[in-house]
Chains A and B, each alone.
Chain A
Amino acid sequence: MDVMPTFTREEIEHLGDLARIALTDEEIERLKGELNVIAESITKVQEVAGDDVPATANPIPLEAYLRPDEAEEPLTQAEALAGAPATEAGMFVAPRILGEE
């Protein structure tokens, strides 16, 4: 049987950092509880699925529709930029970026 995973406080904080969400102490405690319940449920599913059950990545028995490589009318530049907080020279203005991906 798989060992039940548990989320530590540090892991919750790290997930918060990755999601760019500042978490209060109270939220960290609440999420820790909730995520551990979810992890527990997943562990149960893993117990039920024995070796005879093939692994599946998607429960939906469908295959992707592949569309033909044909162009359709794009948005105009003005439409594309309509939701931007700020624009310059036809581009979206983003804050100064630290560190390259």
Chain B
Amino acid sequence: MAEQLMKYADAVAKYEPVFGLETHVELSTNTKLFCPAHIEFGGQPNSQLTPVSLGLPGSLPVVNKTAIDYAVKLGLALHCDIAEWSQFARKNYFYPDMPRDYQISQYDKPLNGEGYLDVELDDGSVFRVDIERAHVEDDAGKNTHVGGSDGRIEGADHSLVDYNRAGVPLIEIVTKPIEGAGERTPEVAGAYVRAIRDIVRALGISHARMEQGNMRADVNVSLHKKGEPLGTRSETKNVNTFKGIEKTLTYEIRRQAALLEAGGEVLQETRHWDESKQATAGGRVKSDANDYRYFPDPDLVMVHVTREHIEELSKQMPEMPRERRARLKQEWGFTDLQMRDAVNADALDLIQESVEAGSSPAGARKWWMGEISREANERGVSLQELPITPQDVADMEALIESGKLNDKLAKQTVSGVLAGEGKPAEVVAKHGYQVVSDDGALESAVDEALKANPDIVAKLKSGNMKPMGAIIGAVMRATKGQADAKAVSKIVMQRVAK
């Protein structure tokens, strides 16, 4: 049965959304949180395990120091109150991906307490998201449902479990309820999760690849009318794309508004985002937090992070993404829009590396955001996956600067590099690309073109420069694109002035 939805504009005009995000970030430590099993994406199933990751009787967890340091760094980036003493607790539930039948998480004594993150929106305005906590916990394994028609739980005969991911360190960043975003709720949520992604990458504490499940979010949202108590929320679990997070909020706001408007009630339930249906679907009624029967894990004593150590880690903090962007924008002289496009295309590092390799910022931007982005879109891959490097771009710019290539030849050279023909110099040599400038060949090509177009010559002589392009075009054709347009134009002017 299709659910009733209210038009989004009407829904946010009538109701105030209040939302919250629980963002899970997998840390890129070498080994798991509680045992020295190496972590690697895409390994043979059940090949990255120790007795601890399997929860075998008699095995005991030992905390990974790097995971704690990474979590402290994130706490510093999110301006959290970092607890000198924190504690792991057991969260009890039965599910086959959790071999111990409890997750080791943190409950009343998380490592990172309250903090905040200022999130920049598309129009340049800043929205402050308050953080409730950012605690450390271990991940579960991965279930594959077998026998169903579409791999979903419904209709499956049985499930297969790979525990490689079980025990991978996670940080769960929990926001406070976020109010006042109104119709911009999905945008704020998307910008917030992207900001978290950028921060953990800048800190070097997570690969933060959403497609590999390194990051995922539980999306909570409720609606209420101004001045009235908060409404009942729904929780959509494990949304693993930025767009999915935004769409979940849009959908839930529309669905809940229609429900409330019809006099119905929102169920406190967990839902999931169904990408194929572009809708959230109901799951089960959420269990009471008490049902998890949290208690301090008796296998683990408290984790002590000294003030001195936190101070030491704070000195290792890199420049944060927002500050870095502001600085680069200034240095490069980009407009807001140019900067945002580069960020959204994930081209910032590539442009920076090109500039470091000698390119002008404008030149680097032109290539990465132009020809190269087009090629990436066509192939459906990221810029980083294409066979062209920042050094190649800088070399291209040098060839253009020195007058060895014109725009047209430069584009052909880039096409060659993208087609795997080699480095720019190799592509130039292979095709014999060379700008024909002030030699006799160019002059005779111009003369040919002028002779073939007496009417244009007449216009040029009368001071009408509009047909100049036609002559340049003819010379380009004659020289197979190797002419320097500026040189051609100069010769034409000399000829018609006579």
Interface residues of A (CB under 8 A from B): 18, 20, 57-58, 60, 62-72, 74-77, 80-81, 83, 88-101
Contacts and interface: CB of A to CB of B under 8 A. Distances in A.
Interface string B260-297: 00000000001010000000000110000001010010
A69 B144 contact: no
Interface stretch (B92-100, B173-181, B323-331, B488-496): B92-100
A69 B153 CA distance: 36
B317 interface: no
B209 interface: no
Q: 10 closest Cβ contacts across the A-B interface?
A: A66-B65, A69-B66, A63-B304, A94-B96, A91-B160, A71-B38, A72-B36, A90-B45, A92-B161, A101-B95
Interface in B146-195: 146, 153, 156-163
Contacts of B314: none
Contact of B161 (A68, A72, A94, A100): A94
Main secondary structure of the interface of A (DSSP, over half): loop
A60 B213 CA distance: 37
A64 B63 contact: yes
Given A62-B301, A63-B304, A74 B38 contact: yes
Interface residues of B, number: 61
B65 A97 contact: no
A96 B159 contact: yes
Contacts of A76: 47
Contacts of A63: 85, 301-304
Given A63-B302, A69-B31, A71-B36, 7 more contacts: A64-B63, A64-B304, A80-B47, A88-B146, A89-B45, A93-B158, A97-B159
B434 interface: no
Contacts of A60: 301
B46 A94 contact: no
Interface string B44-75: 11111111001010000011111110000000
A86 to B, nearest CB: 9
B29 A69 contact: yes
B418 interface: no
Contact of B63 (A67, A72, A99): A67
